[in-house]
Chain A
Amino acid sequence: MSSPKIPTARSGRVESFSYDDEIVKLFVIATMIWGVIALLLGVTIAFQLADWRVNLGLPWTTFGRLRPLHTNAAIFAFCGNAIFAGVYYSHQRLLRARLFNDVLSRIHFWGWQLIIVSAALTLPFGITTGKEYAELEWPIDIAITLIWVIFAVNFFGTIVRRRERHIYVAIWFYIATIITVAVLHIVNSLEIPVSLFKSYSLYAGVQDALVQWWYGHNAVAFFLTTPFLGLMYYFIPKAANRPVYSYRLSIIHFWSLVFIYIWAGPHHLLYTTLPEWAQTLGMVFSIMLWMPSWGGMINGLMTLRGVWDKVRTEPSLRFMATALTFYGMATFEGPLLSIKSVNAIAHFTDWIPGHVHSGTIGWNYMLIAGIFFYLVPKLWDTELHSKKMAHQQFWLATIGLVLYIISMWVAGVTQSLMWRAMDDAGNLVYPNFIETVVKIVPMYWIRAVGGTMILISFILMMINLYKTAKAGKKLAPVVYESLPLDDSSLEPHASVHRKLEGWPMIFAVLSLIAILVGSGIEIIPSLVADKYVVKVSTVKPYSPLELYGRDIYIKEGCYLCHSQTVRPMAHEVVRYGKASNAAEFVYDHPFQWGSKRTGPDLARIGGKYPNMWHYKHFYDPREVTQGSLMPQYTWLFNSKIDYKTLPKKLSVMKQLGVPYSESEITNAVAMAQAQAKTISDDLAQSGVPVKVAEMDIIALIAYMQRLGVDYGSSQEGEE
């Protein structure tokens, strides 16, 4: 067959090429496998909140350890693999070029799966940095960076070799994703190792919080939003076989989103000790985000105009239209939640998980389903196995998600109103936190049921897609022919020109990364020196035993149910004590403010109860608090404190600017043992055997009893 006339003035040797669809298939399969695991974990922890016994009494199955595994699996394993599948499929076709290098593609694929497996092998064992959505420890952080760079080289290399000069808007979204995620990950993961599986964040307190939520918010923005918007701009027009409603609007959408998103992070820290102006900045930019987000949604939905009848019958279009609707909902709710007065009610409550899931399930899962119903039949050259099954999946997922969102909204608002209810005399109407927990447990059941429906819907999709692929044929790759990009190919050095085209972009990206790493290593250590907030002289570093206890707190993921920051609101001050002050956190590497109050705030827990209370509470929370849903921590009563790690821990902290003296470092073990003995002697008076002096539980109690004490004893913040 001869080539039809190509409608450009280009000339040159016709090149033949084929696309690498095998790599796309691999990522599709990985998406399905990790997706079901992520959902299974989500349903498990949902039931754990409804009934504490689902924690199973084992360390590696408790809520605090599984929750990070759930979030990491959902974001990086499920959505991550889906992004790579969709990007690699569309990138090649939009640029009419095979991926830059097949070997890099394979390293990318297997490297990413290895990272996920190592997450599954570390998080349940309490190997965590204690920073939300960035829990993976430093060796895995390095691996992520390497694989991401390989992805970037493969991606930009393909741009260099493209045969289509125009860079379609989807690719712009991918570019923003790749660059920004690299920067966010590197900056937020800067930490100093204590051992192979333990490190301390380079930043402390308020600064750590700011970096963490700058990362946390942009992880949502640049991992769960921009790449998916890129995919939307490719796959919705393809599936609908209609051009995007307005290409012009898509360009405006892209640039406005990219410039606004990066500033919105501080909306996670409203009413904390973060400087007021930074909070306001975060709030204003978050509200501004509403516009471009809705511009994008409208552009997507309007693309479907004229094929609305097909939206009812075609599973892929139906899921895509629903995804856009939830995207619109979530991006309306987000700015709303950033308004300080709304945030005062919603923050720390279940409203937030509700909001998050209208994003990850409503937007990401639904869009992935829509894309895969288009993609899998194409890749395996066949028809979708069952439309009926896809529609059943659709209804299960949609109803399950609506149950999820509504129950969490009701739970959040109910609990928040109970927290803040005060009578005329200024007393709390519900002084016992547990009353506000018991009240919303029915909502936790509804959420768990909704989640189960979503899980079942996903399993239906797995079966459907598996059967589709199985009925497919294995084809020899299609070979395409096209002219090279360069229209100056008649020049003698044409090929050199062509090879160089696009290199500035790669060069810019690589040098940016290099600069970031370099300046990070050089500048940051001098900054973490603890001189930034007005010091309060009574705030002293943790004792070695307390530091050890703090590491247990991080390891067990207590921060996922407890906050450690009292907001300056009357009802919080009455309930917990003096509002938090930035000076309190200067030695907190990492900060532990938390983002959710399934249990009460712990910033002022020190001295609130006797040691014996904590001892009983950790063994079985229900023994002291009827109706508690906190897990048991019985294993802490049998595992011995690893005293010999202490000198190293202290010296790393000293490196980070915590003023431990040399003698404290050398005597760390003796100091810790002495403090442990004081606590166990106290417990012994209530009949506890003396041998607990060596156990982890003592260190955790020591940490509990220290929290908030230093600042509480100061005059700061008192009128």
Chain B
Amino acid sequence: MEILIILLPLALALGGLFVWAFWWAVGKGQYDDLETPGQRILLEDNQRTVQHKKD
């Protein structure tokens, strides 16, 4: 089962990468607000942008 020498570190590396990503997200304040993001995606098209057609 030497294949585990690859698979385990690999799974752990992937896990580690995700841990890092999680830590990054928390550090960047991605999860400070768990209410408005859900609302925001509904608004993006009209509220914060100006729409006009190119001629």
Contacts and interface: CB of A to CB of B under 8 A. Distances in A.
Interface of A: 1-4, 6-7, 18, 93-94, 96, 164-169, 172, 175-176, 179-180, 183, 187, 203, 206-207, 210-211, 214, 234, 237-238, 241-244, 246-248, 250-251, 255, 258-259, 262-263, 275, 278, 475-482, 505, 508, 512, 515-516, 519-520, 523-524, 527, 531-533
A515 B13 CA distance: 11
Nearest to A515: B13
Given A255-B22, A263-B11, A512-B17, A244 B38 contact: yes
B42 A237 contact: yes
Contacts of B17: 179, 508, 512
B40 to A, nearest CB: 7
Nearest to A16: B50
Contacts of A93: 41, 44-45
Given A207-B3, A505-B24, 14 more contacts: A94-B44, A179-B17, A183-B14, A187-B7, A210-B3, A262-B14, A278-B1, A476-B53, A476-B55, A480-B49, A527-B2, A527-B5, A527-B6, A533-B1
A520 B9 CA distance: 12
Given A175-B21, A247-B38, A508-B17, A206 B50 contact: no
A152 B54 CA distance: 31
A94 B41 CA distance: 7
A251 B34 contact: yes
Contacts of A259: 15, 18
Closest 7 A/B residue pairs (Cβ): A243-B38, A207-B3, A247-B38, A480-B49, A527-B2, A248-B34, A481-B50
B24 to A, nearest CB: 8
Given A258-B18, A259-B18, A262-B14, A482 B49 contact: yes
A524 B6 contact: yes
Interface residues of B, number: 40
A180 B14 contact: yes
Contacts of A169: 37
A465 to B, nearest CB: 22
Contact of B39 (A172, A243, A255, A531): A243
Contacts of A479: 51-54
27 contacts: A94-B44, A96-B44, A96-B48, A164-B44, A168-B37, A172-B25, A183-B10, A187-B7, A203-B3, A210-B1, A211-B7, A237-B41, A243-B39, A243-B41, A243-B42, A244-B38, A247-B35, A248-B34, A251-B31, A259-B18, A478-B52, A480-B50, A508-B20, A512-B13, A515-B13, A520-B6, A527-B5
A476 B51 CA distance: 12
A385 to B, nearest CB: 24
Contacts of B48: 4, 6-7, 96, 482
A166 B30 contact: yes
Contacts of B39: 243
Interface of B: 1-3, 5-7, 10-11, 13-15, 17-18, 20-22, 24-25, 28, 30-31, 34-35, 37-42, 44-45, 47-55
A516 B13 CA distance: 10
A68 B53 CA distance: 47
A167 B41 contact: no
A246 B37 CA distance: 10
A18 B49 CA distance: 11
Nearest to B21: A175
A176 B18 contact: yes
Nearest to A234: B41
Contact of A187 (B6, B25, B34): B6
B14 A247 contact: no
Contacts of B38: 237, 243-244, 246-247, 250
A237 B45 CA distance: 14
Nearest to B18: A258
A527 B39 CA distance: 52
Contacts of A505: 21, 24
Nearest to B33: A166
A516 B50 contact: no
Contacts of B24: 505
A176 B18 CA distance: 8
Contacts of B10: 183, 187, 516
Contact of A478 (B20, B30, B51): B51
Contacts of B21: 175, 505
Contacts of A508: 17, 20
